[in-house]
Structure 1
Amino acid sequence: MPTLQDLDADALASFRAAKEEEFAALKARGLKLDLTRGKPSSAQLDLSDALLTLPTTTKDRSGADVRNYGGLEGLPELREIFAELLWVETDQVVCGGNSSLTLMHQVLTSLLLHGGPGSERPWKDEPALKFVCPVPGYDRHFSMLADLGIEMVTVDMFDDGPDVDAVAALVKDDPAVKGIWIVPTYANPSGAVVSAEVAAALMAMPTAAPDFRIMWDNAYAFHHLTEDEAKSADALSLAAASGHPDRPIMFASTSKITFAGAGVSVVAASAANKAWYLKHLAMASIGPDKINHLRHVEFFGSADGVRAHMRKHRDIIAPKFDAVDVALGTALDGLDVAEWTKPTGGYFVNLDVLDGTATRVVALAKDAGIALTPAGASFPHGHDPRDRNIRLAPTFPVLEEVETAMAGVATCVALAAAEKLSGA
């Protein structure tokens, strides 16, 4: 079959008419499907229901009562589990509440108010502030920066990480560039995995800002979709070896491992960064929810317990990702109007449609009862200059709904492309 761009006017008109009929039939079904956020499904949440019966004691292994104040760094037993999972030392780990996003916000606001190790002044007193943002990327990272008034400068995200040459050029001579967001393993939304070579280059590159920070968000480090499990680059060791131990600050959580609203979060960093973080955290907290920490320790038992638990998640969600690929491939292969990722982990499929049609695709899907993440959400301020990027989140609906929704999305992609190519 010729590509859509190769069709003559009559053939394109016929194709468009057929897709309009398909869309009318789709709309008539009265669907109400939601693929807007990368949330765990109820079946995934059910895997952790044993947490509701835990902990079985009120004491940690040292005999301290977890119901009381104290323990700002978090329960040592939990810190040990995440140190092994993240390939860091226990002494580098602090465990907090249910949201790693909260930890990221705490770090950024403390840098703004106080500066950090290596800072010449609080960031708020700098003449200008910029962050490098690989795109497509995680919308919540971008909205946090926008809320704090930090300018965002974009670079392309490749399969092995951000365009490291572009990053190096941005940071080399401009002291206003203070940091970069990185989702190193199964990046949101592309599924990219930062290679050891790219990670090493990021840790070693010269920066004009002496307090340049890499916000290393390991949000999906354990969320494998195949038996070939990617290992996150050892950011803290690479940074220390390059002479920049304070550059990366690592984050993770169990938000998509146990209960999304009642998990535990992790920050891992150099000794100087950890001491700085705890100093300011102590002004806001006397200690985390150690009962929940102990609950998770009892539930997992060890790092291997986390790994076994995530294999159960994989069994639930991997077929949904397969369904996305099958639906899009069946309807769109050969048309040359869309490309999509086939991730080996994480929570998203990255869909690039014909330039100038992503907004239209999302609008058509909404009209058909299929809610998608807004077009351009994976770019700062929600603005994709090519209007082609759509993030698909297939984890929350049941498998049959994913199949239905993605067949519908494929119809919308083809129709929007036909409209664009026919000039209307």
Structure 2
Amino acid sequence: MKKVTEMTREELLELQKELQKQYEDFKAQGLKLDMSRGKPAAAQLDLTNGLLTALDDYHTESGLDARNYGVLDGIPEAKRLFSDLLGIPAEKIIVGGSSSLNLMYDEMMRLMLFGTQGEKPWKDVKGIKFLCPSPGYDRHFAVTEDMGIEMIPVPMSADGPDMDVVEKMAAEDEAIKGIWCVPLHSNPLGACYTDETVDRLASMKTAAKDFRIFWDNAYGVHHIYEEVTLKDIFKAAEACGNEDRILYFFSTSKITFPGAGLAIMAASVSNVAEIKKHMTVQTIGYDKLNQLRHVKYFKTADNIRAHMRKLGDALRPKFDMVLNTLEEELGGTGLASWVKPKGGYFIALDTLPGCAKATVAFAKEAGVVMTGAGATYPYKKDPKDSNIRIAPTYPTPEELDKAIHLFCLCVKMSGVNELLKQRG
């Protein structure tokens, strides 16, 4: 196909008619497909069905009855499993329930209500702000907005957030209290933070003494095309005397079962002590049976890594299908650009400016629900109206094939319509 952005008005009108006919054919199929979130498919969940029968005894290695009250911050063997997997000392780990988002929300709320390390509660800070690398994770932005914290978008690249912008803002404004980070295979760009980015985040000067990095390593072991090693943020921060700055989150939501996995929070020893002080009022403890179930099923961190290689093998054909179709249908047209991720759960695509919302609307009308356009930016306001998050994991291969071909058609339709509008 000739580069669409270089077509004459007459050629665009002819192409518009052709695309409309193809679109009507898709609509006639009565599709009802959901690609709005990065949900595991049933076949993926089946890979850990052994977890359901892994609990042959309800006693921990110390003899504790896991059915009963007690153990506020997680059984030792669960802490040790995550410590070995992530390289974090066990004494810095709190094992929670199934949701890392829940742990993030709770920690943000604690900072808002009580402050940290002797600093005033964030709710008492006038004009409080948070740095939000964008495009980014919509649920992070929802937490921040729910707290009434002003969100400041920061440009993202394949290496992480624009650190020149981050350093300048954090150093100049004490009302800026932190930053959201998804350091490996980020949602949605697939960015992997470089060693330099990690070092600069750990060492940068901040006007706020209680500046916090919410380090959501959600896809830390979710490699598909290439295994990427992330520099240890705790060691980098400790070397600069900034260990209290790091609040680390991780879960098995995309490893075992999203509704019944395990989530952890890790922080400096002093932060953990502070957090546990409030936790003793909030809860008597999380689900120790589920913690024990995961430990008995996986046994070692190496077994988790082996499982994730199987998972990568299962997901790779879906990512290949999407990436190959994007290239076949949109490559060379000038209507879209995208990056092949090394892992994670998403593929981010940029349409021509002003076309993302129209593309998603076309897809929905034809029976394929995508993540809402703008969702990857604070306040759902994509300044270019161009970024779309593609989630290939949930549909079956057959469904995904139909969905991605329809999606490419919708990108073309919105792009051609925009070009015609521009040319009057």
Aligned to 1:139: 138
Q: 1:314-373: CA deviations, max 9, x gaps?
A: 121111111111111111111111011211110000010010010000010011111101
Answer whether contact 1:4 1:336 (CA < 8 A) is retained: yes
- Indicate the residue corresponding to 2:244 in structure 1: 246
Task: Indicate which of 282, 285, 288 corresponds to 1:284.
Answer: 282
Question: Which runs of structure 2 are paired with 1:14-413 in the superposition (5 Å)?
Answer: 14-117=14-117, 119-226=118-225, 228-413=226-411
The alpha-carbon deviation at position 232 of structure 1 amounts to 2.3
CA distance in 2: counterparts of 1:231 and 1:352, whole angstroms: 27
Q: Using the alignment, how far apart are the partners of 1:85 and 1:381 within structure 2? A: 35
Deviations 1:240-261 (A, max 9, x none): 0111010111000001111110
Structure 2 CA distance, aligned partners of 1:265 and 1:374? 27
Distance in 2, matches of 1:332 and 1:120, equals 52
Q: CA deviation at 1:128?
A: 1.9
Letter in 2 for 1:197: E
**Partner Cα separation in structure 2 for residue 120 and residue 266 of structure 1:** 25
Deviation track 1:261-320 (CA, whole Å, cap 9, x = no partner) reads 001111111111111111111111111111100000001011011111111211211111
Partner AA of 2:267 in structure 1: A
Once the two structures are TM-superposed, the CA of residue 2 in structure 1 deviates from its matched residue by 3.6
Structure 1 contact 75–290 (Cα < 8 Å) conserved: yes
Mapped partners of 2:310, 2:176: distance in 1: 41
Contact in 2 for aligned 1:171/1:208 (Cα 8 Å): yes
| CA displacement at 1:418 relative to structure 2 | 0.5
Find runs of 4+ consecutive structure 1 residues off by over 2 angstroms: none
Q: Please state how far the C-alpha of 1:194 moved relative to its aligned partner.
A: 0.6
Amino acid in the other structure paired with 2:63? G
Q: Tell me the SS of whatever aligns to 1:283.
A: helix
AA in 2 matched with 1:142: F
Q: Using the TM superposition, give the Cα deviation of residue 52 of structure 1 relative to its aligned residue in structure 2, in angstroms.
A: 1.4
CA distance in 1, matches of 2:418, 2:192: 34
TM-score when normalising by structure 2: 0.98
> Is the deviation greater in 324-333 or in 119-128?
119-128
Mapped to 1, the partners of 2:159 and 2:90 lie a distance apart of 28
Q: Which amino acid aligns with 1:45?
A: L
Structure 1 residue 87 displacement after superposition: 1.6
Q: CA deviation at 1:120?
A: 2.3
Quick one: distance in 1 between partners of 2:331 and 2:54? 49
The SS at the match of 1:246 is: helix
Q: What CA distance in whole angstroms lies between the structure 1 residues aligned with 2:115 and 2:180?
A: 18
| Matching residue's letter, 2:376 | S
SS at match of 2:243: coil
**Number of residues paired by the alignment?**
422
Alignment match, 1:417 = 415
Query: In the aligned structure 1, how far is the partner of 2:339 from the partner of 2:15?
Result: 26
Match of 1:12, SS state, is helix
| One-letter amino acid matched to 2:213 | I
Q: Which runs of 5+ in 1 are unaligned?
A: none
State the Cα RMSD in Å: 1.0
Letter in 2 for 1:379: Y
Cα pair 1:224 1:310 within 8 Å, conserved: yes
Task: Tell me if structure 2 keeps the 8 A contact 1:184–1:233.
Answer: no
Specify the code of the residue in structure 1 equivalent to 2:82. F
Distance in structure 1 (CA, Å) of the matches to 2:144 and 2:290: 30
The CA distance in 2 between the partners of 1:192 and 1:81, in whole Å, is 26
Taking the aligned partners of 1:246 and 1:286, their CA distance within structure 2 comes to 25
Q: Secondary structure at the match of 1:155?
A: strand
Return the alpha-carbon distance in structure 1 between the equivalents of residues 37 and 249 of structure 2: 20
How many Å separate the matches in 1 of 2:73 and 2:308? 25
Question: What is the rounded CA distance, in whole Å, between the counterparts of 2:216 and 2:85 in structure 1?
Answer: 14
| C-alpha deviation, 1:20, in angstroms | 1.1
Amino acid of the structure 2 residue aligned with 1:77? E
Matches of 2:31 and 2:292, distance apart in 1: 43
Paired letter, 2:53: T
Secondary structure, aligned partner of 2:242: coil
- Paired with 1:81 and 1:191, the residues of 2 have a C-alpha distance of 26
